[in-house]
Amino acid sequence: MPMNCDTDYGTESNGELSTDYCKYCYMNGAFVDAAITMEEMSEFCAKKMDELQVAPYAQAKEMMDQALPHLKRWAAE
């Protein structure tokens, strides 16, 4: 998720903006969907990107499968 302005960022438990996560993933110091797997997130994002006509599903899925493992949330998996 590109974070271009303050309203795109998630928040820490103290109300400060998160430097790592967007508002769709992280709010009030916790993941919005803590149980979602990396594969489920990849699927969700690819479908949303296709729906919003950002990229066709297959291309979006490939992008997500390559990008997500490098994000802090899943880097340790």
The two beta strands, 30-31 and 9-11, are unpaired
- Domain match, 55 and 73 both: yes
So what's the pLDDT on residue 50? 93
Select from 10, 40, 1, 25 the least CA-distant residue to 73: 25
Query: Helix (H, G, I), strand (E, B), or coil: what is residue 26?
Result: strand
- Domain match, 20 and 42 both: no
Domains held by the chain: number: 2
DSSP 31: E
Predicted model pTM: 0.78
Chain length of the chain: 77
- Domain match, 54 and 67 both: yes
**In this structure, how many other beta carbons lie within 10 angstroms of the beta carbon of residue 45?**
20
How far apart CA 24 and CA 8 sit, in angstroms, is 8
- Per the structure, the complete domain to which residue 59 belongs is given by 36-77
So what's the pLDDT on residue 55? 92
- Domain match, 70 and 43 both: yes
- Domain match, 18 and 40 both: no
- Domain match, 46 and 76 both: yes
Q: Does the pLDDT at position 77 exceed 70?
A: no
Q: What is the tens place of the pLDDT at every residue in 24-53? A: 889 999 999 999 999 999 999 999 889 989
- Domain match, 41 and 23 both: no
